[in-house]
Amino acid sequence: MATKTTRKTTKKGQATKPAARSADRATRVDGKTLVIVESPAKARTISRFLGPEFAVKASMGHVRDLPKSKLGVDVAQDFQPTYTILKEKLPVVKELRESVQRSRELILATDPDREGEAIAWHLIEAIQAHGKPIRRIVFHEITEEAIREALAHPRGIDMRLVNAQQARRVLDRLVGYEISPLLWRKVKSGLSAGRVQSVALRLIVEREREIQAFVPQEYWTIEVDLLPQANGRHESSSFTAVLARVRGEKPELPNEEVARAVARELEKAHYWVVSVKERQKQRRPAPPFITSTLQQEAGRKLRFPVSLTMQLAQQLYEGVELGPAGSVGLITYMRTDSTQVAASAQQRAREVIAARWGREFLPERPPVYTKKAKGAQEAHEAIRPTDPARDPESVRPYLTPQQYQLYRLIWERFIASQMANAVYDTVTVEIGAGPELGAADAPYLLRASGSVIRFPGFLAVYREGRDEEESDELDQRPLPPLREREVLQLLTVRPEQHFTQPPPRYTEATLVKTLEELGIGRPSTYAPTIETLKQRRYVVVEDRKLVPTELGILVTDLLVQHFPDVVDIGFTSRLEEELDEIASGERQWVPVVRQFYEPFHRQVEEAERTMERVRVAGEPTDEICELCGRPMVIKESRFGRFLSCSGFPECKNKRPLLEKVGVQCPQCGEGEIVVRRSKKGRTFYGCSRYPDCSFVSWERPTGERCPQCGGVLVVTMRRGQETIRCNSCSYQPAEAAAPVEA
């Protein structure tokens, strides 16, 4: 979502005409130092910190790339790439060429990573700037202090970083342009393959096969509710213990019959405390965000897709209009592998912590986070607020709801990372049970655990999110005071049936986590990789989980069979390490590309001869063809997914695929509510019986009626969170009065 901007106005309050603004820009360059950045938002923010001798312009991102219509890499001439100016950037390049000719010198202030270095190099070539003094500056936050520091320490273009990015681009082009056409001929048109993309898809497909092959195993557990008898304690002192040992062995409760037999013995047993173990523990705060952990946490806590997280972070980094303060960069650079923090930022954070929470929440010395992700690139800073004193509420009026949510997440995580450890007590109690009270060799041993926070430390601000399958001992309820040999009163014995669970499907967050752990891709690649998998319909998102389609499974199987190296996790990770070595000057880029390409090209030639043409089977559904009675399947065309008869071509019946939300139509009661798209792409909800039923709503119906007026209760977004309200009156359920997590 775009950041808020204000239009420049004249003294009479009228908007300045675009032509006048353009002319003004042109005259401002004469004899000045021209600074080029990527985006207008970044240009506006930087302009605030530079004097009248500077003119700042935006390149609007990349201006050159390999051509779209051909390979653009001369394999015979050491993989020499041929770059062309992007068609849509021709007017921008023309203006920048004119500006650089009128300027005194050129400063390239593109982003501080390999891609930013490559953009700077391409700009020099595209705008023909070789005749001017050229300086390159880098900064990790858009603040006056950082800009002034960067201007004081300019450098030249780092060709090691450029070549590392160039090698990545050439490798990706070779893979895409040699495998993709093969898939078009052998499977269907419009498919694609890529180094990181195909490995990520393989992970998702293999996880799905693990799930499909998984055979659940039944098992039972027994929980016992107990009450201390000393001093006549009330039932509020009751606690739960779990059966941990049966006659010295781990309990084997494979079925209901065995579990019920043990439960009957426990119902007759006496209970007493065997041991009480108390420990005081400390928990250190999580380090400030790097790119991958920001993507993961925004997925867990805010349910943001990875692409949305990066889009919002880019806006916060480049600058947001803060009323009279103008455009301000709120966070440091958002593509980073490093958890290090500038000493000045730590000091400002300590001042905020002491003023707001008290000096007891400060550690003796600022913490040091030195661990980096596997294959970390440049020594950036972590993602943090540019000014720790700028709390989320102070900027909330100027941000969109989603910008506010992400800024709050970044601010809280950083502030917490600079706070004192949390201190908490854990108690583990072992309980004997058997026919003889206090026996030394009790046949049954149960265990209960609890925890109590003694000093919240960083938990006063922020607690790290966890994936669904993870547990946390801080969530354990406190136990009542207990002592050894204390007699306990039995309240309830509860045998419970369980089944072993398959590994969970990947979410976007857990896929990013896995790719990072394996050293696959880099911070800038995760978002486009996942978006490509979704756009190609290799995966679909169901309940926030990534599920491979039949097409995704088919493509993965073909790649594993014919291009084992391309989709091999270890091979891809090693190639990433070689790209890092190019960036550090330890390797030359051409030999790295050649070492990959020669065996790869032989595999392409072999696959051209041996890969048989395969037909993509439609995804099965429960829908029945109303013409011939055969099942309908989901197919795809360039216009999107649709339902087609599985009897095609004998039966050519097809109809639109309706995305149901599981709610009956509140108007006709016969149809189901389905997701629809307006001509402008906006989502709305309507009845599946349209045009026979005309019900529509911009907000998703819940399926319930308003108890006050009988209107339809809908789910609406309020300050970036989902809440429930009536679409006809002001009614809002009490439990939805406060926003619930989206």
DSSP letter for each residue of 631-690: EEEEEEETTEEEEEETTTTT---EEEPPEEEEEE-TTTSSSEEEEEE-TTS-EEEEETTT
Find where tokens 């060429």 sit. Answer: 97
Closest CA to 171 of 549, 591, 624, 530: 591
83, 177, 271, 333: the catalytic one is 333
User: Where residue 634 falls among pLDDT bands split at 50, 70, 90?
Assistant: confident
Please state, in angstroms and rounded to a whole number, the distance separating the CA atoms of residues 487 and 485.
Answer: 6
User: H or E stretch including 574?
Assistant: helix 569-583
| pLDDT higher than threshold 60 for residue 27 | no
Using DSSP bridges, classify how beta strands 672-677 and 683-687 pair: parallel, antiparallel or unpaired: antiparallel
- Mean pLDDT confidence for 243-247: 95
Q: What is the mean pLDDT of the chain?
A: 87
Please state, in angstroms and rounded to a whole number, the distance separating the CA atoms of residues 139 and 623.
Answer: 57
For 741, the 3-state DSSP assignment is: coil
Report residue 447 as tokens: 């265990």
- 510-528 pLDDT, tens digit per residue, is 999 999 999 998 878 899 9
Sketch the domain layout of the chain as residue ranges. Answer: 18-157, 179-214+507-610, 218-283+423-499, 291-368+375-417, 618-657
- 438-479 pLDDT, tens digit per residue, is 888 899 999 999 999 999 999 999 999 887 767 888 888 999
Burial of 610 (0-12, 13-18, 19+ CB in 10 A): exposed
- Mean pLDDT confidence for 659-665: 81
Report residue 439 as tokens: 């026996």
Closest CA to 611 of 202, 183, 180: 183
- 301-310 pLDDT, tens digit per residue, is 998 999 999 9
- Mean pLDDT confidence for 290-317: 92
C-alpha 229: how far from chain center = 50
User: Quick one: CA dihedral 437, 438, 442, 445, positive or negative?
Assistant: positive
Q: Using omega within 30 degrees of 0 as the cis cutoff, is the peptide bond preceding 324 cis? A: no
User: Where residue 26 falls among pLDDT bands split at 50, 70, 90?
Assistant: very low
Report residue 480 as tokens: 């009542």
User: Where residue 230 falls among pLDDT bands split at 50, 70, 90?
Assistant: low
User: Where residue 13 falls among pLDDT bands split at 50, 70, 90?
Assistant: very low
C-alpha 56: how far from chain center = 32
Please state, in angstroms and rounded to a whole number, the distance separating the CA atoms of residues 330 and 23.
Answer: 31
CATH classification of 18-157, choosing from 1.10.3720.10, 3.40.50.140, 1.10.40.50, 3.40.50.2300?
3.40.50.140
**CB contact at 8 A, 719 and 404:** yes
Which pLDDT belongs to residue 259?
96
Q: Which residue has the higher pLDDT, 103 or 730?
A: 103
- Mean pLDDT confidence for 83-93: 94
Q: Quote the CATH superfamily of domain 179-214+507-610.
A: Topoisomerase I, domain 2 (1.10.460.10)
Q: Using omega within 30 degrees of 0 as the cis cutoff, is the peptide bond preceding 691 cis? A: yes
DSSP state of 727: S
- Residue 333 annotated as catalytic: yes
Please state, in angstroms and rounded to a whole number, the distance separating the CA atoms of residues 571 and 195.
Answer: 10
- 585-632 pLDDT, tens digit per residue, is 999 999 999 999 999 999 999 999 999 988 777 778 888 998 999 998
pTM: 0.79
User: Where residue 399 falls among pLDDT bands split at 50, 70, 90?
Assistant: very high
- 672-681 pLDDT, tens digit per residue, is 888 877 766 5
User: In one letter, which amino acid is 360?
Assistant: E
Which pLDDT belongs to residue 550?
86
Report residue 568 as tokens: 């091999």
Please state, in angstroms and rounded to a whole number, the distance separating the CA atoms of residues 711 and 731.
Answer: 9
- Mean pLDDT confidence for 386-400: 95
DSSP one-letter string for 132-190:
S-EEE---SS-SHHHHHHHHHS-B---HHHHHHHHHHHHHHHHHHHHHHHHHHHHT-TT
- Mean pLDDT confidence for 208-219: 95
For 251, the 3-state DSSP assignment is: coil
Q: Which CATH architecture has domain 291-368+375-417?
A: Orthogonal Bundle (1.10)
| Phi, psi dihedral angles at 106 (to 5 degrees) | -120, 130
Contacts of 128 (CB under 8 A, 6+ apart): 97, 100
Burial of 359 (0-12, 13-18, 19+ CB in 10 A): exposed
Please state, in angstroms and rounded to a whole number, the distance separating the CA atoms of residues 621 and 630.
Answer: 11
CATH classification of 218-283+423-499, choosing from 2.160.20.60, 3.90.1150.10, 1.10.10.10, 2.70.20.10?
2.70.20.10
Closest CA to 301 of 166, 172, 464: 464
Please state, in angstroms and rounded to a whole number, the distance separating the CA atoms of residues 29 and 35.
Answer: 10
Which pLDDT belongs to residue 439?
85
